[in-house]
Amino acid sequence: MLNTRSQALQQRSELEIASELSTAKLEVRSLSKSFNLQTGSMTVLEDINLQLFPREFVCLVGASGCGKSTLLNIVAGLTPPSSGSVLVDGHKVTGPGSDRGMVFQNYTLYPWLTVSQNIAFGLNLRKMPKAEQRDRINYYLDVVGLTQFAKSYPKQLSGGMKQRVAIARALANEPAVLLMDEPFGALDAQTKEQMQQFLLELWEQTHVTVLMITHDVEEAIFLSQRVYVMSARPGRMKLEIPVGLPEHRDLDMKLSSEFVAIKRQILHSLRE
């Protein structure tokens, strides 16, 4: 299925491809959000602007409480903004939609469904023909390396495996953008590093456009082409840092001087 898609991509003219790549997949325009509390109104996000281009992996870092999850929930269409707008492929977001796949920190698999059935969940909702569903499920089971666990239930899987199923479920809808909120926050350090490597390989294979929130500055640099740093109260975009590392990365790269220089810049910005 993706192979057919990539063949189609190859057949298109370079001009068409260049034009597609320069059009934002996701755009957040002058977005602000306030919550009404008993004590008055609290502005959580102020004048947020960001753009993600096709096949980009972008991370958002910022102090706890600066509004990262609120921003992601607005992009997902789960929370309305107070002002400003979110556009996916040029269309204004007015609610949740299958053009945005979401992966949360806490495993959100349905415990009564098998791995395959979890991955099929969105496809069933969309009434996709069963044969097409089977192809997609098999493809994404293979992409996340869980073919042998197709018939297992979530309780039979480790934390890392559960997150791989959650990622496969989000990808099975082939969304325009994959939104991830601290997806590895609940994993131990070793599993987290394995999952970072896995996610990078998956991104190299599928070239999905990703917006991810993380507390972990190293994780953000390791995975991204760009990192946005947010300030707190109200949350604003403070810094946008391009990550000029090669696309193909391994864990040793975290020790390189380029990596450490970017880390220093982000940490200084977070401390200011």
Ligand X SMILES: Nc1ncnc2c1ncn2[C@@H]1O[C@H](COP(=O)(O)OP(=O)(O)OP(=O)(O)O)[C@@H](O)[C@H]1O
Select the residue interacting with ligand X from 64, 148, 190, 257 (CB under 6 A): 64
Q: Is residue 85 near ligand X by the rule CB under 6 A?
A: no
Give residue 79's identity as a one-letter amino acid code: T
Q: Cα–Cα distance between 88 and 211 in angstroms, integer?
A: 12
Helix ranges, the chain (H): 2-11, 14-21, 68-76, 115-125, 130-143, 159-172, 189-206, 217-223, 257-271
16: CB partners within 8 A, 6+ apart = none
Shortest distance in whole angstroms from residue 239 CB to ligand X:
16
In the complex, what is the shortest distance from the CB of residue 182 to ligand X, in angstroms, rounded to a whole number?
7
In the block, which residue shows the tokens 């707190």?
232
**In which order are the strands placed within the sheet that holds 83-88?**
40-52, 26-37, 83-88, 91-92
CB-nearer residue toward ligand X: 97 or 185? 185
Closer CB to ligand X, 70 or 133, in the complex: 70
Closer to ligand X by Cβ: residue 35 or 110: 35
* Site membership for ligand X, residue 209 (CB under 6 A): no
Is residue 81 a contact point for ligand X (CB under 6 A)? no
CA distances from residue 217 to 129, 146, 182, 223, 229 in whole angstroms, order as listed: 42, 29, 12, 10, 10
Residue 183 within binding range of ligand X, rule CB under 6 A: no
Q: Does 35 bind ligand X (CB under 6 A)?
A: yes
Backbone φ and ψ of 4, nearest 5°:
-60, -40
Q: How far is the CB of 241 from ligand X (least distance, A)?
A: 18
Please tell me whether residue 59 binds ligand X under the rule CB under 6 A: no
With CB under 6 A as the rule, give the number of residues binding ligand X: 10
At 46, phi and psi to the nearest 5? -135, 120
Q: Is 70 in the site for ligand X (CB under 6 A)?
A: yes
Given candidates 16, 30, 65, 151, which one binds ligand X under the rule CB under 6 A?
Answer: 65
Bridge partners (DSSP) of residue 26 are 52, 88
Start-to-end CA distance of the chain, whole Å, equals 47
User: With CB under 6 A as the contact rule, which of the stretches 59-67, 83-91, 129-137, 138-146 interacts with ligand X?
Assistant: 59-67
Regarding 137 and contact with ligand X (CB under 6 A), the answer is no
Report if residue 242 touches ligand X, rule: CB under 6 A.
no
Contact flag: residue 101 with ligand X (CB under 6 A): no
Among 31, 52, 57, 68, binds ligand X (CB under 6 A): 68
- Angle, helices 130-143 vs 115-125, to 10°: value is 130
69 binds ligand X (CB under 6 A): yes
Considering the complex, what minimum distance in angstroms separates the CB of residue 164 from ligand X?
Answer: 22
C-alpha to C-alpha distance for 194 and 200, rounded to whole angstroms? 10
Footprint on this chain of ligand X (rule: CB under 6 A): 35, 44, 62, 64-70
